[in-house]
Amino acid sequence: MVKAGLEDIVAASSSICDVNGTEGRLIYCGYDISDLADNSTFEEVVYLLWYGRLPTKTELETLTKGLQANRRIPEDVVKAMKAYPKDALPMEVLRTAVSMLSMYDKEAEDKGREPNVRKAIRLTAQIPTIVAYWDLIRNGKEVVAPKEDCSLSHNFLYMLSGGKEPDAVAVRSLDIALILHADHELNASTFAARVAAATETDIYSAITAAIGTLKGPLHGGANQEVIKMLLEIGSLANVEPHLEKMFAEHKKVMGFGHRVYKTTDPRAANLRRMSEALGKQMGDTKWFDMSAKIEEIVKADKGLNANVDFYSASVYYMLGIPTDLYTPIFAISRMSGWAAHVLEQYANNRLIRPRADYTGERNLKYVAIDKR
């Protein structure tokens, strides 16, 4: 008897990330996620995931420079984006533009770790540009050239605002959010990337598959559904009646539940603290208070814990990020984990090709169409 959704199936050996669902612990290459969120930067975590250890100062500088120098996207891609329908979903745009990038990369089909690391650097550097540019383009604004002297988080917020310097709290908050979303073992999009990579297709194809998979509301798309729900609820007083109605209608509460975590998602715990701190700093804890109340009720009534997508929604909202960019921001971060897994898959590859438990008919005889 096959358990639906490959539940509990171990489908790969990996030294990148471990999710301990009973203890609610998440580690990247041996380091606890909270330790990294408190002390590290997104760039350093990218190095950790790709090389399996923390970088020296020089190694970090080299990777950071690579990520800074590759932020521009080909002019043809910008032109194509300008021709997309203005109501295209940011995740549709990201999926299509990333797929297009491969045609402008002379190394697109080159195999081996070195060219693939270079491609991973370019993709990690260019995805934030695509996301920010799309928001400018669809709003009829001019795109701004990326800055090359700052962190990925800083530059993303800079481009998104059309060229304004972001404040330090916003930059650090986004950076921590990116650290927390960077990898998560064989989540659906990473699995999709590994399945694609295992056919020995190029990294652009693998990342395109991953982006299309992350888009789904049961995966990365949930953070956008969470903010929709918070906005619909509108006030702390309305939380209880709104949830009662949802429960009565057997609706899922987005941002809750997880296939692996049977206790608190450690990423949610970090983002919860961040949501509260941001609210206090801004003198308005409404979104945090509402979220905390929802968490309390869903836990008490349904026994479900908040996942990473729940508190990231209020954090991004307080940072002033357009709500349909929440999932693309997840992609900006998860690109690092996807690349780590694609590199690991290429390094020790075997085609991923499971079997299905056939439940259909057998031994039927073909019947001519006029006799059916």
For residue 171, the minimal CB distance to ligand ACO (Å) is 23
CA separation (Å) from 356 to 88, 152, 188, 197, 353? 35, 42, 18, 21, 10
For residue 263, the minimal CB distance to ligand ACO (Å) is 14
Nearer to ligand ACO, 73 or 335 (CB): 335
Residues forming contacts to ligand ACO in the complex (CB under 6 A) are: 5, 187, 218-220, 222, 252-259, 302, 304, 307-309
Nearer to ligand ACO, 248 or 351 (CB): 248
For residue 50, the minimal CB distance to ligand ACO (Å) is 21
For residue 300, the minimal CB distance to ligand ACO (Å) is 13
Nearer to ligand ACO, 92 or 185 (CB): 185
For residue 225, the minimal CB distance to ligand ACO (Å) is 7
Nearer to ligand ACO, 60 or 304 (CB): 304
CB-nearest residue to ligand ACO = 257
For residue 2, the minimal CB distance to ligand ACO (Å) is 14
Of 151, 185, 194, 165, give the one whose Cα is nearest residue 40. Answer: 151
Nearer to ligand ACO, 19 or 222 (CB): 222
- Positions annotated as catalytic residues are 258, 309
Nearer to ligand ACO, 24 or 257 (CB): 257
